[in-house]
Amino acid sequence: MGSKRKGGSPADRTRAIETARGLFASGRPAEAEALLRRGIPSPSKDAEALRLRGWIAEQNNQPAEMKSLAEKSLRIESHPEGHLILAQYHLRNDQSDAAMSAAETALQVDPTHRPTRMMLAAIFLERGRIEDAAEVIVPLQTDRPTEEGEGRRLGYTEANILSRRGEHQAAIDHLESTVLADRSMHAERKAALALKAKILDELGRHEEAFTVAETFNAMERIPFDPRRFGREIDGIIDQFDRETLARFPIGFDDDLPVFVTGMPRSGTSLVDRIIDAHPQAGGVGEFTGIEQFAARLQAATDPRLPVPECFGSMQSPQWKSEGERYVERLRRLMPDAERVVNKSLMNANLLGLIARLLPGSRVIHVLRDPRDVAISCMMGEFRPSAMPWTTRLDWVASVWDASRRLMNHWEKVLDLPILEVRYERLVADPATEFPRIIEFLGLPWDDACLEFHATGRPLRTLSQDQVCRPLYTTSVGRHARYADSIAGVDWPVLDA
């Protein structure tokens, strides 16, 4: 006789779910996942287990798995948490409309579902709909929180609303009395400190703001070796010289794709937004199709062989098919556009592949003073697992310098047209710089581009506040307000 599977009784199943939730909440997602797989009688048919695994996939940075698990759970049971996982997936992929639709569906399933109201408030705030955000959380303010951490999340949202209304000191006081009153290292503490730093910056209390920024950046700082990063960039430069690139397979020649490159907080979102406002263009945010192709190519490559034999089965026919699929995906997303922008953060590293896979592409490289980039990175709240170097000024300086070297290399060896845009000139002289960008794309000028803050798709990015209001120049030279804080760093020079 076969052995009886663990978790066979309803009580065992309930115990496994509760234990897995506890493991996940305590920062042990791998153990929670393993328990759900082995401790549930039918793990692929248990909607609650699938939903919990969906949240685990989100924490593990596995968006495709997250989406798949949420959809499987919803085929079994229409539960607000399943729709909420889908909303989170769409937010991760810069799909604000789809995220709002999924969250609204969750609220229709259960109007009392408190996490859904919290997410809708966050989406409203991202869109600048401050009073809608305030209204959606009213039911949460009249009832006691039902789970640990909910009161802190509510306090954060309330403080964010106060800040957006211009009540900055009231927002700080609210953060201190709700979220930050609990001195433990809870999940909401970092976000609250990031919001406090931002508010202090707006109040002109720059020394305090930087101290708070240092505190929240240190909370999840991951070791980073700038010299190793520099060697990796040198490896790309050595690998993709002009002669070697000439032997790469050729993909699909189409002038639809536009790739925007630049450091985070350098103005890439602003350029994306300007182009997206044009009636004949569009933007798809951080579109990851090229990264997926690069991963498959790397897996197939035999470094012992010369180019193109080293690519094994991935030769010109496969490259052409891949390029066609990429362009077709863009056309499905933007059927009426003649140019479509991808502003993925990995674009600069992949330009060698892009030049051969999509030789009809155009590239816009956005440059900003490295000191301003560093301050903006430190004051933002990036995921250290993705960009660990954003948590220290000297690390940002090193990455900025290495990235600039890489772009200098691409400008020398690639046949792709590359337009350099300086953030400082872009905001100071839009009458010249905006048409310059549109002309580079081969499109006629349209005044809608000047109204970028009021047109185009909803945008989910750390720069959302900036690109959803009219152009301003107050961020130029921002580092001067933090002169003492940045004084000890060896900054690369941005040529005039």
Cα separation, 436 vs 421, whole angstroms: 9
Query: Is 56's pLDDT higher than 50?
Result: yes
pLDDT at 470: 58
Query: Is 232's pLDDT higher than 60?
Result: yes
- CA distance from start to end of the chain: 80
Cα separation, 126 vs 465, whole angstroms: 8
- C-alpha dihedral sign at 325, 330, 335, 341: negative
* Percentage of the chain lying above the pLDDT 70 cut: 94
pLDDT digits (tens, 9 = 90+) for 175-202: 999 999 988 877 789 999 999 999 999 9
pLDDT at 384: 82
Query: Is 144's pLDDT higher than 90?
Result: no
- Reported CATH class of domain 230-486: alpha beta
**What's the rounded mean pLDDT across residues 433-437?**
97
| List of residues 6+ apart from 154 with CB closer than 8 A | 118, 137, 140, 141, 145, 178
Domain boundaries, the chain: 13-219, 230-486
Helix (H) or strand (E) segment spanning residue 339: strand 339-342
Confidence band for 111, pLDDT divided at 50, 70 and 90: very high
| List of residues 6+ apart from 8 with CB closer than 8 A | 41
Q: Which of 208-217, 415-424, 428-437, 463-472 has the lowest mean pLDDT?
A: 463-472
- The candidate with the shortest Cα–Cα distance to 368, out of 282, 285, 466, is 466
pLDDT at 49: 94
Q: What is the CA radius of gyration of the chain?
A: 24
Using the structure block, give the residue that is written with the tokens 């927002």. Answer: 171
Cα separation, 460 vs 124, whole angstroms: 11
CATH architecture of 13-219: Alpha Horseshoe (1.25)
pLDDT, mean over the chain: 90
- C-alpha dihedral sign at 274, 275, 278, 283: negative
pLDDT digits (tens, 9 = 90+) for 444-478: 999 999 988 775 454 444 444 554 455 666 778 89
- The candidate with the shortest Cα–Cα distance to 364, out of 441, 276, 455, 284, is 441
Whole-model pTM?
A: 0.84
